[in-house]
Amino acid sequence: MVSEATNTRKKSVLWDWLTTVDHKKIAILYLIAGTLFFVKAGLMAVLFRIQLIAPEMEFISGQTFNELVTMHGTIMLFLAATPLIFAFANFAIPLQIGARDVAFPFVNALGFWLFLSGGILLSISWFFGGAPDAGWTSYVPLASREFGGLGIDFYVLGLQISGFGTLISGINFIVTIINMRAPGMTMMRLPLFCWTMLVTSMLIVFAFTPLAAGLALLMLDRIFDAQFFIPGEGGNVVLWQHIFWIFGHPEVYILVMPAFGIISEVVPAFSKKRLFGYTSMVFAVLIIGFLSFMVWLHHMFTVGVGPIANSVFAIATMTIAVPTGIKIFNWLFTMWGGKIKFTTAMHFGASFVPTFVLGGVTGVMLAMAPVDHLYHDTYFVVAHFHYIIVGGIVLGLLAGLFYWYPKMFGHKLNETLGIIFFWIFYIGFHLTFFVQHILGLIGMPRRVYTYLEGQGMDTMNFISSVGAFLMSVAIIILVINIIYSALKAERITEKDPWDARTLEWATSTPVAEYNFAQTPQVRSLDPVFYEKIHGNGEMKPAEPLDEIHMPNGSILPFIMGVGMFIAGFGFISFHMDLFISPYVIIAIGGITFFGAMAARSLQNDHGYHIDKETVESMEKELS
C-alpha cells in the first residue's frame, strides 16, 4: 500500500478542509456556509423591514428594495435552507444507517464546492451593477434582457452551478440510503430522517432537472438572444411560470420534508416513546412527495388557465393536507403520554407542530382558487409561506442543530441560552408574520417598497418590523451561545448524551473517521434503544474487527468548483465591458473544470487502509 504513507503525514488545517471527502467534515462545511448565507439573507430582510417600518420611509430606494427582496428569497431557499439540510443529511445519514461514509465521497465534496461557487457567483453580483431584481421567481418578461439588468445573469448562472451541486448530492443520498445500510437495517427500520431524505433526494432529482432546463432556456434567451420567453417573437412567458413552479412547488417539500424527519427524530427521543405510527409516517412522506409534483398550478391561479385546470389543481393541493394531517397527529400521539424532557431541541420540536399547522391552514385557504384571486400577491401569501418556511423548516433545522450538536462538535450548546434564544425567536417570528396575514387581508400588496399613511397598515407594519428585530436579537444570542459553548462547555465523550434511540448515538464522540469500527447488526427500529432494553446497551457487531478501507482526500472537487465559477462568470461577461474577451474566461474555466475531471479519471486512487492495530488503539482512546 503506497498511499498509506501519504495519510500518516500531518496535513495543515486549511489543506485538510479543502481536500476533505469525509462526510462529517463536509457536513460542517455545509453548516458554516449555510449559516453565513442565512445570516446574510436575514440581514437583507432586516434592511427592508426597516424600510417598511413606517409609511413613505426613504431608507432605501425602490430598486435596492427589489434587489434585497429578490436576494433574500433566492439566498434563503437555495443557499441557506438547502445547504443546512444537506449539512444534517450529510452528517446523520451515514451514521443512522450504520455506514462508513456516503456512497460517493468524492462526489459529495464536489457537490459542496459547486454549491459554494454558485452561491459566491450569485453574491458578487453586487459589484457588477446590482443584484438580480426580478423576484426570487425571476418571472419573464421582468427577467428578460429587455427589462432585467445584468443581475439576472448572475441569478441564472449562479443557480445553475449550485443546482448541479444539489443534484449530484441528491443522487448521492439516494444511492447511500439504498445501498449502504447496515445488516438488518431494512427499509422499514430506516430512521424517519433517512426516509424523508430519501424522498427529498428523489424530489431533488425530479424537480431540479426542470429548473436546470428552465434556467438553461432563460440563459439562452438572455445571453444568446433566443426567444423562448419573448412573446413578441413567438415565445411564451407563461411557459417560464409553468417550468419554474414545476420545480418550485416540490422545492417547498424538498425543504420541509427533512424538517419533518428531524422532528420525527427529536420528538420520540425527548418523549421517551417510539414514534407513533411509523409505517403511516413513511407512507405519508411518500404520498406528500408524489402530490407535491401535481399541484404546481396553484401558484398560477390568477394567470387565467381556465376553471377546469384551476379546480383540478385546487383539489390536488388540498389533498396534501391529508397526509400532512396524519403526520401532525402522529407527532401529537408520540408526545401524548410520553415522559417529555423539555430541552431546547424539544422546545423547537414541540413548537414546530402548532406553527406548521397554522401555515398549513392558510395553505388550504390559498388553495381555494376563487378566493386566491383576492389573496394573490398580498402579504397574506407572504405570511403563509413564512409560517411554513420559518415556522416549519427553520424551527426543524434549529431543533436538529441543538440535537446533533454534541455529536458533531463534542460538546452541547448551552441549554439556558438555548431556551432564551428559542423564546425570543419564537415570539419575534409570530410578531413578524402573524400580523402580515391581516395586512394581506386588508390589501397590502407584496413586493412594494412603501405604502401610504392612514390606510390602517402603519401599526401592523411597525409590529412586523419589531418582530424582525427580535428575531435578529435571537440569532445574535444563538451566535453568542455557539461561541460561549465552544469556549466554556465541557467536552463530552459519552456516546449518547440525550439517551436517544437511533444508530448515530452508538458511535463514539467525537466520531472516528471510519464511523463504526465494526458495522453494527440492526435488530429493530430504534436500534440503540432496543439494545438498551434487550441487550447490554452496545450494538452487536455484524463483522469481525478488521482493517478499514477509506477514500483519500482530493483537491480536485475544489478546483472543479473554481473552474465552474470562472466559466459561469465568463458567460455573464458577454454583456459586460471587461478588458478580456468572455471566450477567454470561459476557456480558462472550462479547461480548469475539464482538466480536473480528466485528472480524476486518469489517476488511480484506491484510497488507503487503516490497519487493525490503529483501529483498536483509536477505539480504546475514544471510549
Partner 1 sequence: MAENLDQPFKESAMNNEEKRKINREQRTQVIAFAFMIGITILAFLAVGAEGVPGTFTTPFILLLAFVQLLLQLYYFMHLKDKDHGWPNSFMISGLVLAAPMIVALIMLLGVVKY
Binding residues for partner 1, rule: CB under 8 A, are 174, 178, 202, 205-206, 236, 238-239, 242, 246, 290, 293-294, 297, 304-306, 308-309
CB 219 → partner 1: shortest distance, Å?
20
Closer CB to partner 1, 59 or 290, in the complex: 290
26 φ, ψ (degrees, to nearest 5) = -65, -35
CB 74 → partner 1: shortest distance, Å?
24
Question: In the 3-class helix/strand/coil scheme, how is 516-560 assigned residue by residue?
Answer: CCCCEECCCCCHHHHHHHHCCCCCEECCCCCCEEECCCCCHHHHH
CB 212 → partner 1: shortest distance, Å?
14
C-alpha cell at 238: 407563461
Alpha helices in 410-555 (DSSP H): 415-441, 458-488, 527-534
CB 508 → partner 1: shortest distance, Å?
32
Give 559-603 as a DSSP string: HHHHHHHHHHHHHHGGGS--SS-HHHHHHHHHHHHHHHHHHHHHS
User: Strands 540-541, 548-550: parallel, antiparallel or unpaired by DSSP?
Assistant: unpaired
CB 148 → partner 1: shortest distance, Å?
22
Closer CB to partner 1, 306 or 544, in the complex: 306
Which residues have C-beta within 8 Å of that of residue 542, sequence separation ≥ 6? 182, 183, 184, 518, 519, 520, 521
Between 344-367 and 307-319, two packed helices, what is the crossing angle to 10 degrees?
160
Quick one: which of 116, 117, 107, 80 has its CA closest to 23?
Answer: 107
CB 613 within 8 A of CB 511: no
- The span from the CA of 425 to the CA of 439, in Å, is 21
CB 129 → partner 1: shortest distance, Å?
33
CB 195 → partner 1: shortest distance, Å?
15
CB 264 within 8 A of CB 193: yes
CB 259 within 8 A of CB 189: no
DSSP 56: T
Closer CB to partner 1, 293 or 484, in the complex: 293
Bridge partner list, 540? 521
CB 210 → partner 1: shortest distance, Å?
8
Closer CB to partner 1, 189 or 242, in the complex: 242
Q: Which residue has the cell 397526509?
A: 323
Closer CB to partner 1, 59 or 293, in the complex: 293
Which residues have C-beta within 8 Å of that of residue 395, sequence separation ≥ 6? 259, 348, 351, 352, 355, 356
> Half-sphere exposure of 156 toward its Cβ, with a 13 Å CA cutoff?
29
CB 228 → partner 1: shortest distance, Å?
12
Closer CB to partner 1, 205 or 588, in the complex: 205
- The span from the CA of 266 to the CA of 381, in Å, is 29
CB 178 → partner 1: shortest distance, Å?
5
Closer CB to partner 1, 318 or 357, in the complex: 318
CB 209 → partner 1: shortest distance, Å?
9
